[in-house]
Amino acid sequence: FLNVWRPPEFSPGWSRGASKLCRGPEGGELRAAGFTRISLGMQSVAPTVLAVLERRHTPGRAAEAAREARDAGFPHVNLDLIYGTPGETEEDFARSLAAAIDAGVDHVSAYALIVEEGTRLAARIRRGELPYPSDDVAADRYLAADATLTAAGFSWYEVSNWATSPEARCRHNLLYWTGGDWWGLGPGAHSHVGGVRWWNVKHPAAYASRLAAGVSPGAGRELLTPAERHMEEVMLRLRLASGLPLSVLDETGRAGAARALADGLLERRAYEAGRAVLTLRGRLLADAVVRDLLP
């Protein structure tokens, strides 16, 4: 089976923890149990970008940990990148892409920075200390990521994810995008089974104390309505290179798909075969396309 392990990105012991996992007995135990993938938060190789994001690992350390994971026998290793951080230059992102490719990983994820309310970054932007991330810059970074990764032998299979082969795709995340069932373990983990979604408390101390007391670590749950499940199916499946079956759309959605095709946002060959698949330009405007396909 395939699973994902993510190191604690904010821990001062990030580098030591990644090395211990990859090369120590813990790594052997995980591989023996069937774990085949490690995902590491690289974000950037630019010190200025890491400082803005308040990441404590040193530039280049994530790439080193990725090499250690491959050397330790994990067949699939992913590096996560973030683009559009205030102060990031075109050269910064190009160097980050090159470092990820040079690390020998078979999977790269690249996400536009989302500024979450309540964070120190949001407060700095609100005070005018940093500019708000530019949509135009984010689009340019995405195009650069797709071109660079494609040239290096990666193929996109989800808007923000590229892999070197079908086997390298993250099956765990594919469950999210295709409405499958999964169990999440650990602080803040989400789970979904049969249309019921629940999530754990976020803080590690609260999670540990609840387990020690024999109390569920669950923080909340929700039962998805048919309308919510349809909305998520359209929103998530459209992000995949395999696309969304046009048959799941109602009359309004099919009309929206026809408009998206005319605007060059959907692939014509896939459309004629009964599927909505985003073009490169469509990937840049995926949220707008989704809105046009929903009732």
Whether residue 52 sits in one domain with residue 162: yes
pLDDT along the chain (295 residues), means of 10: 35 46 67 87 94 86 91 93 96 98 98 91 93 94 99 99 98 91 92 94 94 95 95 97 98 98 98 98 97 95
Structure tokens at 131: 């500019």
Count of beta carbons in the 10 Å neighbourhood of residue 42: 30
Structure tokens at 78: 């992913």
Whether residue 22 sits in one domain with residue 128: yes
Q: Which amino acid is at 171?
A: R
Whether residue 196 sits in one domain with residue 86: no
Whether residue 161 sits in one domain with residue 31: yes
Cα–chain center distance at 142? 14
Residues 217 and 186 sit within 8 Å (Cβ to Cβ):
no
Whether residue 274 sits in one domain with residue 220: no
Whether residue 122 sits in one domain with residue 55: yes
Q: Which pLDDT belongs to residue 12? A: 33
Last residue of a domain, one of 224, 245, 260: 224
For 272, the domain range is 227-293
Whether 174 is covered by a domain: the verdict is no
Whether residue 133 sits in one domain with residue 122: yes
Q: Which pLDDT belongs to residue 7? A: 36
Q: Which pLDDT belongs to residue 158? A: 98
Q: Which pLDDT belongs to residue 245? A: 98
Whether 104 is covered by a domain: the verdict is yes
In the Cβ-directed half-sphere of 121, how many Cα atoms lie within 13 Å? 18
Whether residue 147 sits in one domain with residue 68: yes
Helices (H), the chain: 14-23, 25-32, 47-53, 61-71, 90-102, 120-126, 135-151, 171-177, 204-212, 226-237, 251-262, 268-272, 280-284, 286-293
CATH number (domain holding residue 49): 3.30.750.200
Whether residue 155 sits in one domain with residue 21: yes
Q: What is the pLDDT of residues 245-269, one digit of tens each?
A: 999 999 999 999 999 999 999 999 9
Three-state DSSP class for residue 199: strand
Number of independent structural domains in the chain: 3
Place of tokens 């005018």: 128
Whether residue 71 sits in one domain with residue 20: yes
Whether 150 is covered by a domain: the verdict is yes
C-alpha 192/C-alpha 101 separation (Å) is: 33
Q: Which pLDDT belongs to residue 19? A: 55
Q: 50-59 burial, b if ≥16 CB within 10 A, otherwise e?
A: bebbebbbeb
Residues 11 and 17 sit within 8 Å (Cβ to Cβ):
yes
Whether residue 252 sits in one domain with residue 141: no
Whether residue 203 sits in one domain with residue 165: no
Query: 76-83 and 37-43: which strand pairing?
Result: parallel
